[in-house]
Amino acid sequence: VYAQSSPTNCTVYCGGFTNGITEDLINKTFSQFGTIQDVRVFKDKGYAFIKFTTKEAATHAIEATHNTEINGSIVKCFWGKENGDPNSVGPNANQQAQQ
């Protein structure tokens, strides 16, 4: 997972929430992996972006939470985009750009 993103990317995309999602839930779930710098929650779309202070923490979060249950939903976790533009982020943003 670590090598799937640039050395400076510390942002995790986590999506698939169908039973509600809050910033508090994200903080409680992901703070165990490292210091969180920023959280962006998109409740209506069922996903969030979690920016950690280190890539190692982000890697651990992806490995530990991808395809697991959070708040009754099986979630998918991937690398988020680094530029912080919420309109161009998502699990397939990089693949779509390469096509």
Count of domains for the chain: 1
Q: Which residue segment(s) compose the domain that 29 sits in?
A: 2-98
**Predicted TM-score (pTM) of this structure:** 0.81
| pLDDT by 10s per residue, the chain, length 99 | 989 999 999 999 999 999 889 999 999 999 999 999 999 999 999 999 999 999 999 999 999 999 999 999 999 999 998 764 444 444 444 333 333
- Helices 23-30 & 55-65 angle (0-180, nearest 10): 100
Cβ neighbors of 4 (< 8 A, separation 6 or more) are 79
Residue type, 81: K
Cβ neighbors of 71 (< 8 A, separation 6 or more) are 17, 19, 20, 21, 25
Question: Domain of 65: which CATH number?
Answer: 3.30.70.330
Residues 14 and 65 sit within 8 Å (Cβ to Cβ): yes
